[in-house]
Amino acid sequence: MPDPSARTPSDSRPEVVLVNPHGWRFIGDGTVPSGLLAVAAPLTERYRVTLIDQRVEKHWRRRLDEALTRAPLAVGVTTMTGKQIRDALTVARLVRERGKTPIVAGGVHPSLLPAQTLEHPDLDFVVQGEGEETFLELCEALAEGRGVAGVRGLWHKLDGRPATAGARPPLPAADLPRLPYQLLDLDRYVRTIRFGRTLSVFSSRGCPFRCSFCYNVAFFGAARWKPLDPDRVADETAELVQRLALDHVQFLDDNFFVSRDRVAAIAEALHARLPRLQWSVLGAHVQNLRRWDVASLVRLRACGLREVLVGAESGAQRVLDAIRKDYRVEDLFAVNRRLAEADIEPTYSFMSGIPDETDEELRATIRAMLRLEVEHPGATVGNIKPFLPYPGTELYDVASARGFVPPSNLAEWGDFASYNYGGVKVGWLSSAERYRLLWLYYGTVLLSPDYLFLRSVLFRWVARLVAPLMRRRVERFDFRWSVVPRLMRFVQAHVL
């Protein structure tokens, strides 16, 4: 396949390289690298942008090497907390070994811990928050050989120490860029799932809720929810659907359902333009969904809505209140029944192990999970993840006050992930209790052979085989030693 960013002989624009590191080897992760595309959008006129995605490019190293021989202006890498940091650091090291090209980190993790991130010797700059304007200004300063000290949103090194001119205000919704998809071989991101040819898209940024475990409040500040206009969503989706012969799109918004009117308008606009398109939503809040009665959900279904991923988090009201989830448990069941009547398939995600959670509250989560499945046979449940205190969140501060010892540098954050939960230093749980929650996580993952992100045929077979056993043990709150969760953890830590 020709390199989409190949330079024509007359192309003398300075080059900028953007890299999406692999991170967790999620089977089937083919999400479009929207963060890097957004950062690239304002650059494309004056700069040649080379976008390399480790997740889909077997020969990413060769492309990076080739790009480095052309002496680019900068190399930017994106990363969230966890394993993606490890791969981002591998990229940074490769670039460092090849010369003096400035290396810039952006994305959720560097934005939440900019100073600590920049302390890493292989990084030269950190872009905090949304990167469109900040990265453009950085590139301009680099191209013109100017200093960068006045660039807001940017962290640079001053006498070897992290320094910044201060935060940059978030982009207004109307300024969110059209993504320059021409920089990618988009076919690589089309996955065939049970709804047919599928691509990931967005219709908004951020979320107005205040869940105390989520990055949103710290990342976006006051302007937390930025919706795109429904016609724009429908037009841009229609272009992609027609160009790639898609059957289905997945909206990866943090929270798609914030405005009922907007969702209705998007649904109708999509249906008018693309009557056969099916679509799913991977971020929904119970409090928003409860405003939809069965008739209006049936209409959404008629307009193509198939799946919604709902952050249920807990079956215990005290826990929901403690994490500021802002919904009532009974509303979760009401929403679930309505979704069942409308034939829309929900996937519910849960968490365990927040400070002071009791056994009874954990049992309430398990009971809720099993009840949701009974009341909606098309629901996917499971996946009760141990709570990890992500930086920048309110619960991180609570956890720190309760004895959580966070990783002390960027490289250590690269191992901050659920498969390492046994070793996470949370002061309120003993080692045995942490392993129990890890067991519950893998045990419940195995209850859902069709879980959204895990699309491996091998996983499905294993899950189908062991699901009845896992179910019995989860129902009985029985976390005795079992080879299956241990095997899952090994695979996740060393293979994925």
Query: Residue 184 or 297: which CB sits closer to ligand B12?
Result: 184
Q: Least distance to ligand B12 from the beta carbon of 321, Å?
A: 20
Binding positions for ligand B12, rule: CB under 6 A: 20, 23-24, 26, 29, 31, 33-36, 38-39, 76-78, 80-84, 104, 106-109, 111-112, 127, 130-132, 135, 202, 214-215, 252, 254, 385, 390, 418, 453
> Which of the listed partners (ligand SF4, ligand B12, none) does 209 bind, with a CB threshold of 5 to 8 Å by partner kind?
ligand SF4
Query: Around Cβ 177, how many Cβ atoms within 10 Å?
Result: 14
DSSP codes joined into one string, 275-315: TT-EEEEEEE-HHHHTT--HHHHHHHHHTTEEEEEEEEE-S
Q: Least distance to ligand SF4 from the beta carbon of 175, Å?
A: 21
- Write the binding mask 179 to 218 for ligand SF4: x where contact by CB under 6 A, - elsewhere: ----------------------------x-x-x--x-x--
Query: Residue 76 or 311: which CB sits closer to ligand SF4?
Result: 311
Pairing of β 225-227 and β 204-206: antiparallel
Number of residues that bind ligand SF4 (CB under 6 A): 9
Q: Does 387 bind ligand SF4 (CB under 6 A)?
A: no
Taking the C-alpha atoms of residue 427 and residue 390, their distance in angstroms, rounded to an integer, is 15
Is 155 strand, coil or helix? strand
> Which of the listed partners (ligand B12, ligand SF4, none) does 390 bind, with a CB threshold of 5 to 8 Å by partner kind?
ligand B12
Q: Least distance to ligand SF4 from the beta carbon of 210, Å?
A: 6
Judged by CB under 6 A, the chain residues 244 through 273 that form the site for ligand SF4 are: 254-255
Query: Residue 16 or 308: which CB sits closer to ligand SF4?
Result: 308
Query: Residue 284 or 424: which CB sits closer to ligand SF4?
Result: 284
Helix axes 431-445, 483-494, angle to 10 degrees: 90
Quote the tokens at residue 115. 């100073």
Query: Residue 68 or 211: which CB sits closer to ligand SF4?
Result: 211
Query: Residue 31 or 198: which CB sits closer to ligand B12?
Result: 31
Q: Does 285 bind ligand SF4 (CB under 6 A)?
A: yes
Q: Least distance to ligand SF4 from the beta carbon of 255, Å?
A: 5
Query: Residue 390 or 416: which CB sits closer to ligand SF4?
Result: 390
> Which of the listed partners (ligand B12, ligand SF4, none) does 211 bind, with a CB threshold of 5 to 8 Å by partner kind?
ligand SF4
Taking the C-alpha atoms of residue 455 and residue 30, their distance in angstroms, rounded to an integer, is 11
Q: Does 282 bind ligand SF4 (CB under 6 A)?
A: no
Q: Least distance to ligand B12 from the beta carbon of 284, Å?
A: 12
Query: Residue 190 or 399: which CB sits closer to ligand SF4?
Result: 399
Taking the C-alpha atoms of residue 135 and residue 133, their distance in angstroms, rounded to an integer, is 6
Find the helix or strand (DSSP H, E) in which 94 lies: helix 83-97
Bridge-partner residues for 251, per DSSP?
Answer: 201, 281
Query: Residue 112 or 446: which CB sits closer to ligand SF4?
Result: 112
> Which of the listed partners (ligand B12, ligand SF4, none) does 127 bind, with a CB threshold of 5 to 8 Å by partner kind?
ligand B12
**390, 215 Cβ separation under 8 angstroms:** yes
Quote the tokens at residue 260. 């009922």
Q: Least distance to ligand SF4 from the beta carbon of 262, Å?
A: 16
Judged by CB under 6 A, the chain residues 420 through 459 that form the site for ligand SF4 are: none
Instruction: Find all residues with CB under 8 Å of 280, minimum gap 6, and list them.
Output: 195, 248, 249, 250, 251, 305, 306, 307, 308, 309
Q: Least distance to ligand B12 from the beta carbon of 119, Å?
A: 17
**443, 473 Cβ separation under 8 angstroms:** yes
Judged by CB under 6 A, the chain residues 295 through 314 that form the site for ligand SF4 are: 311
DSSP codes joined into one string, 8-64: PTT--PPEEEEEE---S--TT-----HHHHHHHGGGTTTSEEEEEETTT-TTHHHHH
* Nearest alpha carbon to residue 4 among 189, 235, 196, 202: 189
Phi-psi bin for 381: left (phi > 0), alpha (psi -120 to 50), beta? beta
Taking the C-alpha atoms of residue 77 and residue 126, their distance in angstroms, rounded to an integer, is 10
> Which of the listed partners (ligand SF4, ligand B12, none) does 107 bind, with a CB threshold of 5 to 8 Å by partner kind?
ligand B12
Query: Residue 282 or 362: which CB sits closer to ligand SF4?
Result: 282
**Residue for token pair 């979760």:** 332
Q: Which position's Cβ is nearest ligand B12?
A: 106
Tally: H helices and E strands in the chain: 19, 16
Instruction: Find all residues with CB under 8 Å of 397, minimum gap 6, and list them.
Output: none
Query: Residue 328 or 460: which CB sits closer to ligand SF4?
Result: 328
> Which of the listed partners (ligand B12, ligand SF4, none) does 26 bind, with a CB threshold of 5 to 8 Å by partner kind?
ligand B12
Residues that bind ligand SF4 (CB under 6 A): 207, 209, 211, 214, 216, 254-255, 285, 311
